[in-house]
Structure 1
Amino acid sequence: MPVSGQTQRIYISPSGNDSNPGTKEAPVATLHHAQQMWRKLDGTVQVVLRGGTYYLDSTLLLTPEDNADMNTFLFIMGYPGEEVVLSGAKPLKTSWEPWQRGVYRTAVPASVPSMDRLFINGEQQILARYPNYDSSARFYHGTAEDALSPARVKTWKQPVGAIVHALHRAEWGGYHYRITGVDEKGAPVLEGGWQNNRQMGLHPQYRFVENVIEELDAPREWYFDSAAHQLYYMPPTGGELPENVSYAVLKELIVIKGSHQRPVKQVILNNIIFTGTARTFMLTKEPLLRSDWTIYRGGALLIEGAEYCYIGNCKFDEVGGNAIFLNNYNRYVNVDSCHIYKAGASGIAVVGSPDAVRSPAFEYNQFVPYTKMDRTPGPQSENYPHYCDIKDNLIQYTGEVEKQSAGVQISMSSNITISHNTIHNVPRAGINVSEGTWGGHIIEYNDVYNTVLETGDHGAFNSWGRDRFWHPDRRVMDSATTADISLVTLDARDITVIHHNRFRCDHGWDIDLDDGSSNYRIYNNVCLNGGLKLREGFFRTVENNIIINNSFHPHVWFSNSGDVFRYNIVTSAYKPIGIQTWGKEVDYNFFPDKSSLKAAQANGTDVHSTYGDPQFMDFAAGDYRVKPGSKVLSTGFTNFPMDQFGVRIPRLKALAAPVPLPAELYAQQTAGKASLTWKGATVKNIEGLGERSATGLPDESGAYFVKVPAGSEAYKAGFRTGDVVIAVEGEKIRDTADFMSKFQEHAWKQSMQMTVFRNQRAMELKVAK
């Protein structure tokens, strides 16, 4: 037996043999056999995988038996310079024959009970669906209102087993169902819909159906008939019939599982690609306290009961569900320098156990009465993630299947650091904090953009604060927090700090602290599009932020909120809703114009604030530092760096999509000269009697659509050349800057009502986001 503390190496290769000794010259073939070997060794063990694809027959389970000693390490790593792939798929031998309509089929062994995902040469194919896959479609790569109509269902010989995906009716995530039958009216009978914790039913329009053989009508589509053991496939036009075929089997590839009493320690995973796992959307059932989420506690990599473990330089490539899930008790687990690409659900989920929560409630309308509530601050057990770091990761195109997902999701955890990550192209939040339990998070230097792309009413950073103090009846909550303000921090025990980030949200707010989110400090952030919202919470200090082409959105504050908003740059007027009192301090801010400042001062705020041209260093390049001598500096605002957002790893930076920076500052457009491009249309102010006459307007108010190209987003939304928008959501529009301000104000909604002057008369246009 080797001496304790000595590093041992075990080599693995796809061309190896498990009867070999595991040396570099004679490697073993499988991780599971290597595990039997390393468990017999003392000291630090380095497991080196040579390049190639490893199809795992079962999940690799790492327990304290693999390493529970702080004096030793277990390294599992890819050989430097070689591509090591762990796959949850299983290879399939095929013998293709022509079937019909350009579709081929092959017999499949009876031992294959089902197929969830099919891969050709490692590339995921498309399960037969209606409507067909459209990479340019906003929702689910294509949706259709008639996807579940009786007329459509009637064309299917076997509707049972078909799968339905749909947005939540309010666009708060999504739903998934199996069709189990057809009723007497010809409508499908659905099983599922438990994937959202705010039940309102599936969206009437944004839905699609898959796993129907009659819908197999496009290249790369497939269907598996489990009863007849036949796989059907339509190859690409001119493409050869595939030979390298595999199908997803495993949901988890590696599980690290210990406990609070006996954790797994110092396991290092490095330079490994995780792929080929099955989708898990029908297992997403467990509600997360009173957030809008339900979850499945699993992922391609699942970590529970671990301490001082490190996941670095790994790629999670189109995994079927969550990429990484830190579950329940974890301490000092780091996820560093990883690339998460097209995960079916969330990129990284950090979630504790409800048994650590005092007086938990699990749905928006549920509540533990104050008289029966445990008033002890903080958690009641150690069964939650604490002091874990997520840094320098590139997380992109997640939520491919599950729309109630996030780049990084935090729930029932404390002191989680999310630093220097680039997160983009996600259907909902880039970073989501589900509730205040137990705060202390540090969210810093992240670049989060192209977010809330398929949903609405959310943020690039989003949080809820439906903690012990929160009640769905505002009057009850007002009375309780007035009588005992200490209720607010029973769960949000420690301050969460958000600083030096750049956020952009497409259909909501860049920073959205919703429904009671409390105990935050927010400073030195850039908001590129959606503005910053504080709703119904306490003890939020917002300082020294830059809000481009939008503003501050205070919603329904408490009289004793203690909120502070100062030293910030806003570029349009505040957007208050239901504000009676304005917190502890709202002052020393910088506005774009005198009218915006006067509107704020009319509410009793911003006595020492000022307005004007902020004089940004280089607006077009995204450098929003202000020049020496700018009036902004007189408010107390201080410049902060603009080149430190996002991932710092060069190879990952090179893979990130470009950040969509605003082309111009709408508030600086001068009357009579303003012109901009919006959704592909050219929009300008009304200038003079000629344009008034041409449009038939009684005055020079409105946003004039002088050119709306066919096929542009504006055209698809219903606009036509010559239109003039004269009102948005009932509010009169003066000019293009006013139009953009009102549009940004209401951009979180599913759609907004616009009054358009066309052909000498006003008409109403419902504009989807």
Structure 2
Amino acid sequence: MKKLLTCIVYAAALCQITTVLSAQITPDKSISISVTPDPPAKMSGGIVFTSLSHAIALAHIHQQKEPGKSVNILFQPGTYFLDTTLLITAGYFNGPVTFQAASKQGGQVTISGGQALQLQWTAWKNGIYKATLDVPFEFHQLYINNEQQILARYPNYDSSAKHFNGTAADALSPARIKTWQHPEGGYIHALHRAEWGGYHYRITGVKADGTLQLEGGYQNNRQMGMNEQHRFVENIFEELDASREWYYDKANKTLYYKPLPGTNLQKAKVVISRFSEIVVLKGDAARPVKDVTWKGIRFAHSNATFMDTREPLLRSDWAIYRGGAVLLDGTEHCTIKDCEFDQNGGNAVFVSNYNRHATITGNHIHDAGGSGVCFVGNPDAVRAPLFEYNQSPVFAGMDTAAGPKSRNYPDSCVASDNLIYRTGRIEKQSAGVQISMAMDITVAHNTIYDVPRAGINVSEGTWGGHLIEYNDVFNTVLETGDHGAFNSWGRDRWWYPDREMMDSMVALHPWLVKQDAVKTNVLRYNRFRCDHGWDIDLDDGSSNYHIYSNVCLNGGLKLREGFFRTVENNIILNNSFHPHVWFANSHDIFRHNIVTSSYKPIGIKYWGDTIDNNLFPDAAAMNTSTDVHSLSGDPLFISPAKGDYRVQPGSPALKIGFRNFPMDQFGVVSPALKKLAAKAPLPVLKTITATGAGISNWLGAQVKNIETLGERSAAGLPDDKGAFLVTVPAGFRYAVKAGDVILQLGDKNVSNVKELQQATDFYGDKKVKVVIFRNQQRMQLP
């Protein structure tokens, strides 16, 4: 028989009563605590508490008396506005604790990182209203009736625009800047010059020449400056001219807002963002937070963190902010389950530093300013860490031991059955799921789409063992470029930005390749689609992968540099295999795959261990130098229009060793999430055979325009300008090499082969300077 728990309520009279709590103990001495966001007019029995903190305190007291007994804190429907970030530290609980909605049928429970406002609106001008507001904190989001509004911006918000919902080259023009009286506190958001993520800046003033003083730009770990076209400004008062736009004049304590026609502002629910983190579980490897679960809760209104995203990750293109609406930092066996993360300003869930057996499952994550789920270890666990792309390792004195040197990283954690979409609304160097400095992370049965960069990203080889399976990832790399629906980098201890140095390093010390990438990453049974890159993109030395039984819907599969990649039994639709600049003795394998066009090699001198037993669309597409046992012909898919790419009996694919795998198990499995999830766009199948590239003769060398994303990626170019050298004869008059891109001859810029020929004709036999792009950087030849 249950009995009502009675205990001392301390300091209740000193606080405003905002939460009502009652508790019951079961015969096994576990405890259930019921919390409501607002006190009812009358209570019969139970205990009145003043805040959620008292509920947590009660759980603490109970587990001190009954160690190991579980506690359930049950939230009744409503919105809970916190006075501060809810921090749960190691040792506070002495047994399992679950925070959960009291009933799925009883209504939604929201824990807000924002503050509700009671405002008196008055008409100002041009359809704009104003209200007095005095808050002591910075905020970046305004919500009216639970819909995020638009901070005053130029150009105006356009839901159909590809980049940032609207960009303009003149966003920072002197003429426009002159129209701003006080731009201080405004923001600039821009793509990276090479479209590798984004930059964010705060305006601090105006210089004498009319240009802006800025702080920021550290959010990308490969500095090249802002894209000249894709940028916009926000939080500028003079740009408040469109419906749903707002601006807060902090100096004069006034909020301005232009509502949609018909909006009743006097009755509208108004919330502003406040805290960057809503819930934090904070421990460490010596004393972790254990056995805490959050279940069935909606987390909303956390503040934007783009100006705090500044910590670089090991020579990847990323910088990160170690936080999210929910932050797990130093935990064991903690779970975030069946929650919704709605319109938060930064990352949704961040699993940082030491964590073991964290489980992120069944969640609905959407409209986040940053990433969906991040697993990121600490550099203090990395041997010989380097942080910027162009940094070169020094072998003498290097710590060459294998694996991590501390336990300060996520290990044996899971992200499964999550629906993740429209993340990266502000930060473009983001991902649906991000992994860095971690081991044995399982990413399974997630549906991820409508993201500006990768759906799933692995930042480097430390330390592998990841299992990526049964995910449905599509509509990816929508705002950036040179990337994949699944993307990875290597850039581990053996990797040099200078290719010649790297060739010599791996030839002398081949064993070093697996000292960071100690465990094999497995990609299997996934469906990937990328429209502005590769469906699977293993870039810059990604090593130790087994990739099998995946469907690539559009962008093909790329392996750049790297070692020990086995790719087999995959289906690559409307595209092919893209090997880029491989090493001698890479030990790469590509076999038993179905491709639908010829291979797309760039800079390939060596072809790995086995490239054979694959199926091509026709004989013209076959790579006769490698695939001596491969076949060509119609694979006889069962029902490609319905996404069933299993092959029928009698298919030539079966003769080259291909084996069917399930086509109905991609993505989320929870019925509620399956109902919400969008469907992946399926391709109309076409046969693509080899096409001749426009190769021209230049002084005896072979040269061509940059025509494909693959050529641009292989050279590391920020754009498609230049003349690509295919072959260079011995004794050539300039010290160029095959794979170089000529950008300038003499004083003449070179955007293509035609301009190279024109510059050559202009200078005649005169020997002039040559500016090239090599090792992913611009250089002038001696």
TM range (shorter): 0.7 to 0.9
Q: For 1:238-289, what per-residue CA distance to the aligned partner results, in whole angstroms no more than 9, with x for missing partners?
A: 3222532121101111101111111111111100000001000000000001
- Alignment of 1:60 with 2:86, yes or no, is yes
1:375 is aligned to: 400
Q: TM-score, normalized by length of structure 1?
A: 0.86
Contact kept? 1:18, 1:30, Cα under 8 Å? no
5 Å matches for 1:714-753? Answer: none
What's the offset of the Cα at 1:593? 1.1
What's the offset of the Cα at 1:747? 9.3
CA distance in 2, matches of 1:47, 1:68: 15
Report the 3-state secondary structure (helix = DSSP H, G, I; strand = E; otherwise coil) of the residue aligned with 1:165: strand
1:182 is aligned to: 206
Cα gap change, 1:19 to 1:238, in 2 (>3 Å): closer
CA distance in 1, matches of 2:694, 2:524: 33
2:153 is aligned to: 129
- Alignment of 1:619 with 2:640, yes or no, is yes
Which residue identity is paired with 2:78? G
Cα gap change, 1:302 to 1:20, in 2 (>3 Å): farther
Match 2:662 to one of 608, 617, 641: 641
What's the offset of the Cα at 1:161? 1.1
Which residue identity is paired with 2:356? R
What's the offset of the Cα at 1:190? 1.3
- Alignment of 1:451 with 2:472, yes or no, is no
- Alignment of 1:159 with 2:183, yes or no, is yes
Which residue identity is paired with 1:560? N
Contact kept? 1:127, 1:211, Cα under 8 Å? yes
Match 1:51 to one of 50, 74, 77: 77
Report the 3-state secondary structure (helix = DSSP H, G, I; strand = E; otherwise coil) of the residue aligned with 1:330: strand
2:34 is aligned to: 11
2:57 is aligned to: 36
Cα gap change, 1:27 to 1:568, in 2 (>3 Å): farther
5 Å matches for 1:668-707? Answer: none
CA distance in 1, matches of 2:40, 2:113: 20
Report the 3-state secondary structure (helix = DSSP H, G, I; strand = E; otherwise coil) of the residue aligned with 1:371: coil
Match 2:563 to one of 532, 538, 557: 538
What's the offset of the Cα at 1:184? 2.1
1:684 is aligned to: none
Match 1:270 to one of 279, 282, 295: 295
Match 2:357 to one of 317, 325, 332: 332
Contact kept? 2:496, 2:502, Cα under 8 Å? yes
Contact kept? 1:30, 1:54, Cα under 8 Å? no
- Alignment of 1:305 with 2:330, yes or no, is yes
Cα gap change, 1:592 to 1:220, in 2 (>3 Å): same
Which residue identity is paired with 1:9? S
Which residue identity is paired with 2:397? K
Report the 3-state secondary structure (helix = DSSP H, G, I; strand = E; otherwise coil) of the residue aligned with 2:171: coil
Q: TM-score, normalized by length of structure 2?
A: 0.84
What's the offset of the Cα at 1:445? 0.4
Match 2:339 to one of 293, 308, 314: 314
What's the offset of the Cα at 1:481? 1.1
Cα gap change, 1:394 to 1:12, in 2 (>3 Å): same
- Alignment of 1:413 with 2:438, yes or no, is yes
- Alignment of 1:651 with 2:672, yes or no, is yes
Match 1:398 to one of 417, 423, 428: 423
Which residue identity is paired with 1:164? I
What's the offset of the Cα at 1:77? 3.9
Structure 1: 5+ residue stretches without partners: 672-701, 703-726, 732-741, 755-762, 765-769
1:197 is aligned to: 221
What's the offset of the Cα at 1:750? 7.3
Cα gap change, 1:283 to 1:18, in 2 (>3 Å): farther
Contact kept? 1:610, 1:635, Cα under 8 Å? yes
Q: For 1:703-740, what per-residue CA distance to the aligned partner results, in whole angstroms no more than 9, with x for missing partners?
A: xxxxxxxxxxxxxxxxxxxxxxxx98779xxxxxxxxx
Match 1:581 to one of 576, 582, 606: 606
1:736 is aligned to: none
Report the 3-state secondary structure (helix = DSSP H, G, I; strand = E; otherwise coil) of the residue aligned with 2:176: helix
CA distance in 2, matches of 1:237, 1:167: 33
- Alignment of 1:520 with 2:545, yes or no, is yes
Q: For 1:130-184, what per-residue CA distance to the aligned partner results, in whole angstroms no more than 9, with x for missing partners?
A: 0000000000000010001110000011111110000000000000001111122
Cα gap change, 1:94 to 1:204, in 2 (>3 Å): same
Which residue identity is paired with 1:635? I
Which residue identity is paired with 1:214? E
- Alignment of 1:172 with 2:196, yes or no, is yes
What's the offset of the Cα at 1:201? 0.2
Which residue identity is paired with 1:33? H
2:554 is aligned to: 529
Which residue identity is paired with 1:245? V
5 Å matches for 1:135-146? Answer: 135-146=159-170
CA distance in 2, matches of 1:57, 1:395: 29
Contact kept? 2:193, 2:227, Cα under 8 Å? yes
Report the 3-state secondary structure (helix = DSSP H, G, I; strand = E; otherwise coil) of the residue aligned with 1:516: coil
CA distance in 2, matches of 1:605, 1:438: 32
Cα gap change, 1:50 to 1:400, in 2 (>3 Å): same
What's the offset of the Cα at 1:584? 0.5
Which residue identity is paired with 1:589? N
- Alignment of 1:609 with 2:634, yes or no, is no
Contact kept? 2:343, 2:369, Cα under 8 Å? yes
What's the offset of the Cα at 1:638? 0.8
2:368 is aligned to: 343
Match 2:593 to one of 564, 568, 574: 568
Match 2:118 to one of 93, 104, 112: 93
CA distance in 1, matches of 2:174, 2:683: 45
CA distance in 2, matches of 1:310, 1:351: 17
286-295 or 97-106: which moved more? 97-106
Contact kept? 2:542, 2:562, Cα under 8 Å? yes
Cα gap change, 1:335 to 1:194, in 2 (>3 Å): same
Contact kept? 1:10, 1:22, Cα under 8 Å? no
2:140 is aligned to: 116
192-201 or 92-101: which moved more? 92-101
- Alignment of 1:499 with 2:524, yes or no, is yes
CA distance in 2, matches of 1:466, 1:358: 13
What's the offset of the Cα at 1:411? 0.2
Report the 3-state secondary structure (helix = DSSP H, G, I; strand = E; otherwise coil) of the residue aligned with 1:40: helix
Contact kept? 2:490, 2:539, Cα under 8 Å? yes
Which residue identity is paired with 1:59? T
What's the offset of the Cα at 1:468? 0.6
CA distance in 2, matches of 1:494, 1:634: 32
Which residue identity is paired with 2:213? V
Q: For 1:469-513, what per-residue CA distance to the aligned partner results, in whole angstroms no more than 9, with x for missing partners?
A: 111111111111111211000100000000000000111100000
Which residue identity is paired with 2:518? R
RMSD: 2.6
Report the 3-state secondary structure (helix = DSSP H, G, I; strand = E; otherwise coil) of the residue aligned with 1:41: helix
Report the 3-state secondary structure (helix = DSSP H, G, I; strand = E; otherwise coil) of the residue aligned with 1:355: helix
What's the offset of the Cα at 1:305? 1.1
Q: For 1:591-648, what per-residue CA distance to the aligned partner results, in whole angstroms no more than 9, with x for missing partners?
A: 0111111xx11xx200000101111111111111111001111101111111111111
What's the offset of the Cα at 1:74? 3.9
588-597 or 656-665: which moved more? 656-665
Cα gap change, 1:118 to 1:375, in 2 (>3 Å): same
Which residue identity is paired with 1:654? K
CA distance in 1, matches of 2:367, 2:609: 43
Match 2:240 to one of 201, 209, 216: 216
Which residue identity is paired with 1:663? V
What's the offset of the Cα at 1:536? 0.7
5 Å matches for 1:456-467? Answer: 456-467=481-492
Name the count of aligned residue pairs.
686
CA distance in 2, matches of 1:244, 1:259: 40
Between the two proteins, what is the percent identity of the paired residues? 56
Report the 3-state secondary structure (helix = DSSP H, G, I; strand = E; otherwise coil) of the residue aligned with 1:238: coil
Which residue identity is paired with 1:6? K
1:679 is aligned to: none
Q: For 1:106-143, what per-residue CA distance to the aligned partner results, in whole angstroms no more than 9, with x for missing partners?
A: 1113x444331111112111000000000000000000
CA distance in 1, matches of 2:53, 2:687: 60
Cα gap change, 1:132 to 1:635, in 2 (>3 Å): same
2:410 is aligned to: 385
2:615 is aligned to: 590
